[in-house]
């Protein structure tokens, strides 16, 4: 007997709808490898409808006083708390994530981030007015950019949706957001939450819209004539494609792409503490995090001791079922990602050594063991390219100069960390490391008040913070004559 699959639907102008042409795709739970739902495979007609709804709602939403937009976002945050167990269940099924970790590590920061941007809604100030030409006064207006086409990833589908809609809506923009085709469930639930709040407070339904679909759906959204801005969190390849598509009509683009974070460990560090923290930061969410601590550079004098301790910690780290409170992470998100991670391990050069893990775990789902690989060289594939899995590589460096050279010697530039008791060294490296974030004696904490975003092929634009809020606004100069 076959269990009926749940039917997910698009959310357009306040209504849940199937794709106009009826096409669907199956959604698979990565913890079981089995389909649990179907979702629309949205095409041009669906994109047209969502963009029209957002465009119609924009003038009304834009012209609200900031306090009214704040009120909406604060109520959305409250509703997230009230419906937290529904969100947790949806995200766990979406991604195979441990339920306890979604509850403790995702719901609280998401609620906090929405409330942060609710406050930012009332900070649309410009520089003070002044006279810069005799007889004239200049003022600066901060305005929303318009309709925003947003594409969220599958590693944190729920949280990344928050990072996109919250600053956009706070600034007065309207939103059409597309979750990944492998993880649409939590975003569809978010649509129900936001739609109910907009209805209750009497605001246009088209302020927030969700389109399920694949890469083609995303391409149609970015190339559509209505959006003034395209925002994507995803791979470097996807970011380049979005930038190229958006260039055809000069849309503003916001890109948060891949990462290959260096973790630079000096001989004076507290090895047990560093190993403990780095393992968590490397294996959390199955290493499916652009900032994950997966590329460790260790000073040669402590290399062997560090590798032995890290391998022991990896062997103690558990992956497994969503209801097991002792596991640190769940499965990889999909079969293709499992194949990619396996491929990196299968192609390791002869000089590399697998110190721990290196294999799939279990017969069902896409679980992969916590892995440590040592003996690597700077130009090895696994050092240069993003694995996006629970794999930590270790290299040995001789001195500070070599550490900086190797740390910067990749095409990504999102996040990094330095582990040392030497304050002056930490300050030198915080300047020298070419990454959007440098953590010192820690790795991966984020707060709503501080920006997240990188350089080079990690993209441009910032998430979180006032800088992320600024990205969803435009600047207008108004000059008035003081003469009769």
**pLDDT tens, position by position, 364-394:** 999 999 999 999 999 999 999 999 999 999 9
62-93 exposure pattern, b = at least 16 Cβ within 10 A, e = fewer: bebebeebbbbbbbbbebbeebbeebbbbbbb
pLDDT at 228 over 70: yes
Task: For residue 2, name the pLDDT band (cuts at 50, 70, 90).
Answer: low
pLDDT at 199 over 90: yes
159-192 exposure pattern, b = at least 16 Cβ within 10 A, e = fewer: bbbbbbbbbbbbbbbbbbbbbbbbbbbbbbbbbe
148: left (phi over 0), alpha (psi -120 to 50) or beta: beta
Which of 95, 148, 212, 290 is the catalytic position?
Answer: 290
**pLDDT tens, position by position, 274-309:** 999 999 999 999 999 999 999 999 999 999 999 999
**pLDDT tens, position by position, 158-192:** 999 999 999 999 999 999 999 999 999 999 999 99
C-alpha 240: how far from chain center = 17
Q: Which of 34, 38, 30 is nearest to 10 (CA)?
A: 38
* 419, containing H or E segment: strand 415-419
- Give the separation between CA 177 and CA 196, rounded to whole angstroms: 17
The predicted model scores a pTM of 0.96
pLDDT at 322 over 50: yes
User: What are the residues whose beta carbons fall under 8 Å from the beta carbon of 338, sequence distance 6 or more?
Assistant: 331, 332, 360, 366, 368
Catalytic status, residue 105 = no
- Residue 421 has a CB neighbour count (10 Å cut-off) of 12
**pLDDT tens, position by position, 326-347:** 999 999 999 999 999 999 999 9
pLDDT at 112 over 80: yes
The pLDDT value recorded for residue 484 is 74
**pLDDT tens, position by position, 350-366:** 999 999 999 999 989 99
Task: For residue 12, name the pLDDT band (cuts at 50, 70, 90).
Answer: very high
Neighbouring-strand partners of residue 208: 175
The pLDDT value recorded for residue 89 is 97
- Residue 157 has a CB neighbour count (10 Å cut-off) of 24
Average pLDDT of span 23-47: 97
Q: Which of 136, 137, 182, 178 is nearest to 161 (CA)?
A: 178
Catalytic status, residue 290 = yes
Percent of the chain with pLDDT over 70: 99
pLDDT at 273 over 60: yes
**Ordered domains of the chain (ranges, CATH):** 6-257+458-477 (3.40.605.10), 262-447 (3.40.309.10)
- Give the separation between CA 27 and CA 74, rounded to whole angstroms: 31
The pLDDT value recorded for residue 124 is 83
Copy the structure tokens of residue 429. 């490296």
* 426, containing H or E segment: helix 423-432
Task: For residue 1, name the pLDDT band (cuts at 50, 70, 90).
Answer: very low
Which of 91, 93, 106, 256 is the catalytic position?
Answer: 256
Task: For residue 238, name the pLDDT band (cuts at 50, 70, 90).
Answer: very high
- Give the separation between CA 187 and CA 189, rounded to whole angstroms: 5
**pLDDT tens, position by position, 69-78:** 999 999 999 9
Q: What is the DSSP string of 50-92?
A: HHHHHHHHHHHHHTS-HHHHHHHHHHHHHHHHHTHHHHHHHHH
The pLDDT value recorded for residue 403 is 98
- Give the separation between CA 170 and CA 144, rounded to whole angstroms: 9
């Amino acid at each position: 007997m076959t269990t009926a699959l749940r039917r997910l639907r698009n959310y357009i102008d306040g209504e849940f709808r199937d794709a106009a042409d009826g096409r669907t795709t199956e959604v698979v739970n990565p913890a079981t490898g089995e389909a649990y739902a179907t979702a629309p495979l949205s095409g041009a007609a669906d994109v047209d409808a969502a963009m029209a709804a957002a465009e119609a709602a924009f003038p009304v939403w834009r012209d609200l006083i900031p306090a009214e937009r704040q009120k909406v976002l604060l109520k959305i945050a409250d509703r997230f708390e009230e419906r937290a167990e529904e969100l947790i269940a949806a995200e766990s099924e979406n991604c195979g994530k441990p339920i306890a970790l979604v509850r403790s590590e995702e719901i609280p920061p998401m609620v906090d981030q929405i409330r942060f941007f609710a406050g930012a809604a009332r900070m649309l100030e410009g520089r003070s007015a002044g006279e810069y030409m005799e007889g004239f006064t200049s003022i600066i207006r901060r305005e929303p950019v318009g309709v925003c086409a947003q594409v969220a990833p599958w590693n944190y589908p729920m949280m990344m949706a928050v990072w996109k809609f919250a600053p956009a809506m706070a600034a007065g923009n309207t939103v059409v957001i597309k979750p990944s085709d492998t993880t649409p469930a939590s975003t569809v639930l978010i649509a129900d939450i936001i739609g109910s709040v907009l209805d209750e407070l009497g605001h246009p339904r088209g302020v927030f819209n969700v389109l399920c679909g694949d890469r083609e759906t995303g391409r149609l959204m970015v190339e559509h004539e209505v959006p003034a801005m395209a925002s994507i969190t995803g791979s470097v390849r996807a970011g380049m494609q979005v930038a190229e598509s958006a260039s055809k009509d000069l849309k503003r683009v916001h890109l948060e792409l891949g990462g290959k974070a260096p973790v630079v460990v000096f001989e004076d560090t507290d090895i047990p503490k560093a190993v403990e923290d780095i393992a968590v930061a490397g294996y959390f969410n199955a290493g499916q995090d652009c900032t994950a601590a997966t590329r460790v550079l260790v000073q040669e004098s402590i290399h062997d001791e560090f590798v032995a301790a890290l391998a022991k910690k990896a062997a103690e780290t558990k992956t497994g079922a969503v209801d097991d409170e002792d596991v640190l992470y769940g499965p990889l998100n999909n079969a293709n990602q499992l194949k990619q991670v396996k491929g990196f391990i299968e192609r390791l050069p002869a000089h590399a050594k697998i110190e721990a893990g290196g294999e799939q775990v279990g017969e069902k789902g896409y679980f992969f063991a916590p892995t440590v690989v040592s003996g690597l060289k700077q130009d090895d594939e696994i050092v240069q390219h993003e694995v996006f899995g629970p794999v930590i590589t270790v290299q040995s460096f001789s001195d500070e100069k070599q550490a900086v050279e190797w740390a910067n010697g990749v095409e990504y530039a999102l996040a990094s960390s330095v582990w040392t008791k030497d304050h002056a060294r930490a300050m030198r490296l915080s300047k020298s490391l070419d990454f959007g974030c440098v953590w010192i004696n820690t790795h991966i904490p984020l707060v709503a008040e501080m920006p997240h975003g990188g350089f080079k092929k990690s993209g441009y634009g910032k998430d979180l913070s006032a800088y992320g809020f600024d990205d969803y606004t435009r600047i207008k100069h108004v000059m008035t004559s003081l003469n009769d």
